[in-house]
Amino acid sequence: MSKYQRLHPLVILKKSISWSFSFILILIFDILRNPSNKFNWLSSTSIFGALIAAAIIFNAYRWVTFKYQISSTTLSIKTGIFFKREQIIPFSRIQSIHQESWFLFRPFRIIKLTIETASSGSKVESTILELVPLSTYDLLEKLRLGKNDIIETDIKQANEQHYKERYSVSLNDIIVFSLVDFNVISGLLGLIAAVYHFSNFSNKYLNPFLNRVAASGLFIISSFIIIIIIVTIFVSIAKNIFKYYKFKVYRELDNIIIERGFFTRTILSVPIERIQAIHTKGSLLQILLSLRTVELLLASGKKSENNENTEDTTFFLFPIINRRLLSTKLAQIIPEFTEKFNQKEPQSFPCPPHYFLFSRFHFLGLFLLIPLFFWNSSSGWKFLFGILIISFTLLSVINSIWKTKTQSSTYYEKGLLTVRTVHFFILNEYLCPLNKIQSISISTTPFLYYQQLGHTALSLKTGETALKIKLKYLSWPICENIKKCCSPKIKKYTLKK
């Protein structure tokens, strides 16, 4: 394809509709200001019409000026009339490609493509081709994978081999995932906060109602709360079902392809060499059920437009998976990572537990008991706060003990480092290719150095922020050893003075 092309014309319609949705809110507010006045109705609807017309004109202008071209090695995009901008993206620099198909446009075989590159610093550059025919995606993928010189029949054979579905999520799994996920709890807290906020505003109206509720007994209150809990659980299940409906992961040559979604079907393809790390998470509940969540850490984080899904910075590889299945599934999908595990003598860095060093600062919380002692209040409140402080300290101490017990790191030759840490009662395991570790820092204090101890932190690029993986209170030689292992080996290079 050598000529510059425009997007599909339906993009004008889609964009204008999504704009007018946001205008409708303004319209409703405007009408509610003075609903009985007929002139007000007329004027606000005419303003609304004008806004829609402006949106259509603007989007048409955008459609006319936005052109793209796919050559054998690059994707170039031209925009603007007055301020012309041409953007050229070499295929080798693409971090990931998202393909989203809205269910209304699926019969037309039209999709939305988001192409991401990692630019320097903290920014993530993403290019959006709003609506293009599906064939564009196929062409792009074909060129990007370097298949253009392979004969057609070979491609078909290759496809049949690699399109085999490797991991998929059933409805059951999604339900378990949403129950185990912290989303339920955080959603509940959010709801409670919202209700609390609301009750402050309309104290007048709510108080009589609450009194009536209280009068009719605790039973109703508790049933009310239970209903709220059940509703939130169902909402989060429904949300996850729509989001992870028919979740599929498979390999295609050097790419991992992840498909998901009900209304908007999203297909994400990530080149293997662009994976910064693989992150396995297990919260307490998940560990009890021997389940894990696996995420891909990428240098690009998908910027969500219109704030539709703000959680899209996490790329789940397996939203939920049994711990025993994990290693085999990983081996099927990313053999590049797992085949390094089979080495005879991986170098594991011993991290002996330091119970006191880890938990010492958490005991400082107990000092909060002193002002409580002098506080003049009824003993009931005192007792409650005392219990709260003590239990909080205990929890953080237990967390730190768990942290020091589980902390470990292993180095595999040919460039792979595994790190296992605990953070807020969540067990994290990272598989990092060594060539993705951006910098290493070792820190200590005179007191710790006297005992030959230090902390090590590895920094990786994930999305718009850097991820720091910290290993604490390691012995000094091990800190230096980790550093030595992680630093890249360069052959045949001598420093010029």
Smallest gap from Cβ 121 to other proteins, in A, equals 6
- Burial tier of 314 (Cβ tally within 10 Å: 0-12, 13-18, 19+): middle
Detail the DSSP E strand segments found in 134-286. 167-168, 248-252, 255-260, 264-271, 275-283
| Among positions 47, 323, 442, 481, the unique one binding other proteins when judged by CB under 8 A | 442
Residue with tokens 């996850």: 240
Q: Is 417 a binder of other proteins (CB under 8 A)? A: no
What does the per-residue mask of binding to other proteins show for 104-123, with x meaning CB under 8 A?
--------------x-xx--
Q: Is 472 a binder of other proteins (CB under 8 A)? A: no
Taking alpha carbons only, the member of 490, 493, 492, 352 closest to residue 434 is 490
Smallest gap from Cβ 296 to other proteins, in A, equals 14
Q: Is 127 a binder of other proteins (CB under 8 A)? A: no
**The tokens of 111 are what?**
């999709």
347 versus 444: smaller Cβ distance to other proteins: 444
DSSP state, residue 424? T
Residue with tokens 């002692």: 373
211 versus 439: smaller Cβ distance to other proteins: 439
Looking at residues 39 to 98 of the shown chain, list those that interact with other proteins (rule: CB under 8 A).
92-93, 95
Smallest gap from Cβ 252 to other proteins, in A, equals 21
Task: Count CA within 13 A, CB hemisphere, residue 282.
Answer: 19
| Among positions 140, 169, 299, 453, the unique one binding other proteins when judged by CB under 8 A | 299
- Burial tier of 58 (Cβ tally within 10 Å: 0-12, 13-18, 19+): middle
Backbone φ and ψ of 128, nearest 5°? -115, 120
Q: Is 440 a binder of other proteins (CB under 8 A)? A: yes
Looking at residues 267 to 286 of the shown chain, list those that interact with other proteins (rule: CB under 8 A).
274, 276
Smallest gap from Cβ 278 to other proteins, in A, equals 16
State the Cα–Cα distance between residues 97 and 460, nearest whole angstrom. Answer: 21
Smallest gap from Cβ 476 to other proteins, in A, equals 8
463 Cβ contact list (under 8 Å, min separation 6)? 124, 298, 299, 300, 301, 313
State the Cα–Cα distance between residues 155 and 147, nearest whole angstrom. Answer: 8
How many residues sit in the footprint of other proteins (CB under 8 A)? 38
Q: Please choose, out of 50-58, 130-138, 380-388, 449-457, the segment that lies near other proteins by the rule CB under 8 A.
A: 449-457
Looking at residues 2 to 41 of the shown chain, list those that interact with other proteins (rule: CB under 8 A).
none
Q: Please choose, out of 126-134, 241-249, 327-335, 448-456, the segment that lies near other proteins by the rule CB under 8 A.
A: 448-456
Show the DSSP H helices in 66-145 as ranges: 134-144
Q: Is 350 a binder of other proteins (CB under 8 A)? A: no
Q: Which residues bind other proteins (CB under 8 A)?
A: 92-93, 95, 118, 120-121, 274, 276, 299, 435-446, 449-450, 452, 459-461, 466-467, 483, 487-488, 490, 492-496
